[in-house]
Structure 1
Amino acid sequence: MASRRGFLTGLALAPVAFAVGCGLPEPTGIPGGGSRPLPIPPLAPSTVGDDGVRRFTLRAHSATTEILRGKHTPTWGYNGSVLGPTLRARVGEQVGFTITNDTPEPTSVHWHGMHVPAEFDGGPHQMIAPGAQWAPHWTIRQQAATLWYHPHPHGATEKHVYRGLAGFFLIDDESADTLDLPKDYGVDDIPLVIQDRRFAANGTLDESDPTDIGLLGDTIVTNGIAGAHLDLSTERVRLRILNGSSGRLYNLALADGRTFDLIATDGGLLTEPVALQQIQLSPGERVELVLTMRPGEKLALRSLPITERAGIDRATEFGFDDTFDILELRAARALRRSAALPAALVPIRPLTAVSTEPTRTFDLQWFMINGRRMDMNRIDMTIPVDTTEVWSVRNNDNWPHNFHVHDVQFQILAINGTPPPPALAGWKDTVYTGSGSTYTLAMRFTEYTDPTYPYMYHCHLLHHEDQGMMGQFLMLAPGQQPAPMPMMAGHETS
């Protein structure tokens, strides 16, 4: 059997059970009990030079992957046939990258959730032409967290991610190191990206006819394969879960309804574990869950129908009624004991008073924010450096949307004027916005001023983003004025 520490590709795997619509029996498990072990993305190799910079190399390229049994699917990946290695660095480290684009299309690499200079953000203004290289670098200045990287070309983000370009970026720090949490990567600390895909009869990805929510798939893929199981040797396991789908929401639960502990959201650890039986994730959101297993048992991680659907006019079309198994967990007959979870994790200092009035308002509707679609040549707002702002974000639509802001992690002050539930009380960079609801978000803008290169804010349902549900802002130092943005090879405006 191949090691779970290796990133297995080209495996013969069966698709996951999938049931659509209300009233159908709940799935009883993955066909065949999960045909192959869950691939674990390898930790990316890096070198540290005399200058102290930790350097990584990434190559985006096309290949084929056996996602389904006996089917060879054309895919894109970083340093492999699909997805990418897990990048890992510590707070205070300088990191540098050499990134080569060997795909046939211009692409970019965005560091989702990262506090990073705008010129290295990897958004649609940092395109890498086919055959070209990009060399971003910065210093890690944020707390331990589970982040990710993915393409961000305007108008083509959904397809580039759908073809397989995505990977985890883990940040470590001393505060997290001292906590007695599962942290043996690939053993009891597992990165898990959940995605949905549609396949043609010959195994190629079906990129045709997106619905209003995007390319909604009927097959669940975990870490690049369908129909996986995870063998466990410890009493507790930490799942770092990313919703890497372009438009599908997941309502995660364990098949027997048991409780699990939420310990972290997008931007890092919570103040204390939160016991839950279900948790909803929209595209781009991450959570860290700790599950407790019993010796010898098998248990499915399952996605249940979306319960938060008031105001959504086509819930079935958007996949809200779907139920399916995502991953089978298999505990060994003898499990190594795990420490009890700490009662306290890390402190979170409020950015501002809950009563602070909003600085700006954002209305989400159709493919627009505040009635406007994305224009690459238009700066929608400028923000003074070293300021804390409060944004009021409202979904005025009968569609599902979420909201992501580049460079910052935010705190949710209120949802419809009410304090957020404990699961949303930590650091976030992406939040689901229910139809007709208003989300009050506090965020602080620091350090990286740039009169030329903007950051983005957008819906992270990637079809919505590609269609123009995005805006851009500059962070300016006192006295700075916006400067013209240079045109770059591989860059297209819309």
Structure 2
Amino acid sequence: MKRRRFLVLAAVSGLAAACGADPVEGPAFATKLRIPPLLEPKVDADGAKRFELLLQADGRSQFLPGKTTATWGINGAYLGPTVRATRGDRIRMAVTNRLAEATTLHWHGMRLPAKMDGGPHQMIGPGATWTPEWTLDQPAATSWFHPHLHEKTAMHVYRGLAGMFIIDAPGGPKLPHTYGVDDIPLIVQDKRFNSDGSLNDGRVDSGTFGFLGDRILVNGTLDPSLEVGAELVRFRLLNASNARVYRIGFADNRAFHVVGTDGGPLERPVETGRVKLSPGERAEIVVRFAAGEQVVMNSVGENPQEANAIEQDDFDLLRITAARQLTASPALPERLGGAAAAPPPAGARTRRFVLTGSEINDKDMDMTRIDEVVPAGAHEIWEIENTTYAHNFHIHEVAFRILDVNGAPPPAYQRGPKDTVFVPKLAKVRLAVQFGHFTDPVSPYMYHCHILRHEDKGMMGQFVLVEPGTEEQTPRTIMAPGHHH
């Protein structure tokens, strides 16, 4: 055990004892990794695939041996099923809210009309059902869904409302694709448990970054183990934590290949030994295994002299055991089908966003204010300047490319299409942002920090997409949904 990790665990254990929480011990990897079930759609008369999602607050989960934890979930006790659909499908959702309070469900990473986005303007009251629909028209990708209500997102996600949304594309490259066998979802979250097994939700709504846990759940499994039976396995990594940043790799420092980022496939596989994911970010990696071997997937923190608290800690995530006989896998394709990054056109508009503690451009979120009006189909440069501690930045509806961080290009594995980017303390990030074509001058999309405490405090803005040439005539105020903020 590294000395820094030991000191962190010792400090956390002392704090946990003082707070009535269980002290932290090293993982025993005693529990088989849970694989979220695939949600089978119903096919309506018009051919649309209808997925039914039930948000509920009556879950009882067993994370700790012999102890039961009250949780929220979607179609189950904790987390949700995996939705999987193919480009070209007509998607029809039926989202029913069985909570005692209003919420939303946002399709993070989806290119779709603003009214279907599931942001804070698409509230679902207790007992109500929301039925957004759209045609899936974007590259193959790992996306996800989670609540996105104003000022309460952190608590709703922490309690368990989240799930993965996988987009397939016809004719794509031959990558591992059998769900739960050689194509494995990994939803990574940090938690803290009280001594009676209940979720400790202290500081979810307070402190600089909000919640930071001392235990890791993967797909809702504590200290999980997984047996794999193929030579090549694709892992779909999703950081669904409230605030924590992970640098995911393996304890034996083996190399692996990144094949996809938030918004779709890379052009070619990129070999690396670590991928850094801030909240909301995803990466698809393909790992080679040898028969009979055992390895631990882990996260290694950054140097505490240079990084914020959300980046510093080390964690073991998952023990993987390869079967004694492995199924042969096709070679990793040289080309993945991802589009080459297109540079912004000459004269592209540049928009600048300055991040402070909880504001963007010196403004807190206002549900009635439109901050930016963007012509549909625009290709712009967005400059994100962070004047304080760590943040990240998520833009709804778009796919962007990271141009540079403090003037330097991003690592090769981060050069694919993305919708969320980590912005280190006192850093400047430039993005080439490609907007879609769904125009609506009164229904906004969001851009915001995806550290959920910051988002809830107001670190969020709104933009609308409009017909080119109508920007000056577009109102900068809209009516808020039927409640006050």
Please point out which of 332, 343, 352 is paired with 2:343.
352
* CA contact 1:358–1:440 (8 Å) conserved in 2: no
**Residue aligning to 2:431:** 441
Give the letter for the 2:29 counterpart.
G
1:301 equivalenced with 2:294 (yes/no): no
Q: Provide, for residues 268-311 of structure 1, a one-character-per-residue CA deviation record: whole Å limited to 9, x for no partner.
A: 1101111111111100000011111111111100111124974x
Matched, 1:387 2:381: no
The correspondence for 2:146, drawn from 146, 150, 154, is: 150
1:371 CA displacement: 1.1
User: Any conservation in 2 of the 1:358–1:392 contact (CA below 8 Å)?
Assistant: no
* More displaced 10-residue stretch of structure 1: 225-234 or 417-426: 417-426
Q: Which of 20, 35, 40 is the equivalent residue of 1:40?
A: 35
Asked if structure 2 preserves the Cα contact closer than 8 Å seen for 1:64 and 1:75, the reply is yes
Residue deviations 1:104-157 (CA, integer Å, cap 9, x gap): 121100000100110111001111111111110011111000000000011100
Query: Percent sequence identity over matched residues?
Result: 44
Q: What is the aligned partner in structure 2 of residue 182 from structure 1?
A: 176
Contact 2:296 2:317 in 1 (8 A): yes
1:266 aligns with 262
Partner SS for 2:161: coil
For the residues of structure 2 that align with 1:73 and 1:103, how far apart are their CA atoms? 17
CA contact (8 A) 2:301 2:313 kept: yes
Measure, in 1, the Cα distance between the counterparts of 2:432 and 2:137. 19
**Alignment partner, residue 400 of structure 2:** 410
57, 61, 65: which is aligned to 1:65? 61
Gaps of 5+ in 1: 1-17, 25-29
Q: Deviations over 1:408-442 (max 9, x none)?
A: 11011222223322111100000001122211111
2:86 is aligned with 1:95? no
Q: 1:196 — aligned with what?
A: 190
The alignment partner of 1:162 has SS state of helix
Structure 2 partner of 1:372: 363
Instruction: Tell me which amino acid in the other structure corresponds to 2:341.
Output: P
Which letter maps to 1:47? K
Distance 2:392 2:326 in 1: 39
For the 8 Å contact 2:370–2:478, the answer to whether it is kept is no
Report deviation, 1:356: 6.1
Measured against aligned partners, the alpha-carbon deviations of 1:339-372 in whole angstroms (never above 9, x if no partner) come to 2111111142333249866510011110011111
| Correspondent of 1:81 among 77, 80, 89 | 77
Secondary structure of the equivalent of 1:69? coil
The correspondence of residues 452-471 of structure 1 with structure 2, limited to 5 A, is: 452-471=442-461
Q: Which residue of 2 aligns with 1:141?
A: 137
Question: What SS does the corresponding residue of 2:76 show, helix, strand or coil?
Answer: coil
Q: 1:482 aligns with which of 468, 475, 478?
A: 475
Task: Report the equivalent of 1:173.
Answer: 169
Mean CA deviation greater in 263-272 or 66-75: 66-75
Letter in 1 for 2:159: R
Aligned equivalent of 1:50, options 31, 45, 48: 45
Native 8 Å contact 2:191 2:214 kept in 1: yes
Partner of 1:327: 318
The alignment status of 1:110 with 2:113, answered yes or no, reads no
Q: How many residues align?
A: 463
Is contact 1:249-1:306 (8 Å) kept? no
Contact map agreement 1:304 1:324 (CA 8 A) in 2: yes
Distance 1:84 1:206 in 2: 21
Which secondary structure does the structure 1 equivalent of 2:64 belong to? coil
**Match of residue 292 from structure 1:** 288
Pair 280,80 (structure 1): closer, same or farther in 2 beyond 3 Å: same
Indicate how the Cα distance of structure 1 residues 347 and 222 shifts in structure 2: closer, same or farther if over 3 A, else same.
closer
> Which amino acid in 1 is paired with 2:369?
R
Note the 1:13-28 alignment, pairs <5 A: 19=5, 21=7
Match of 1:213 in 2: 209
Paired residue secondary structure (2:311): coil
Cα pair 1:20 1:322 within 8 Å, conserved: no
**Cα RMSD over matched residues?**
2.1
Residue 186 of structure 1 aligns with an amino acid whose one-letter code is G
Paired residue for 1:7? none
Distance in 2, matches of 1:161 and 1:105, equals 14
> Are 1:363 and 2:354 an aligned pair?
yes
Higher relative contact order (CA 8 A, sep 6+): 1
8 A contact 1:351–1:444 mirrored in 2: no
TM superposition score normalised by structure 2: 0.91
Could you say if the C-alpha distance between residues 334 and 31 of structure 1 is closer, same or farther in structure 2, counting changes exceeding 3 Å? farther
Change in 2 beyond 3 A, CA 1:120/1:189 = same
User: Residue 22 and residue 46 in structure 1: after superposition, are their counterparts in 2 closer, same or farther (change >3 A)?
Assistant: closer
Give how far 1:482 is off. Answer: 3.1
Q: CA deviation at 1:487?
A: 4.7
2:465 aligned partner, one-letter code: M
CA distance in 1, matches of 2:280, 2:33: 21
- TM-score of the superposition, structure 1-length normalised? 0.90
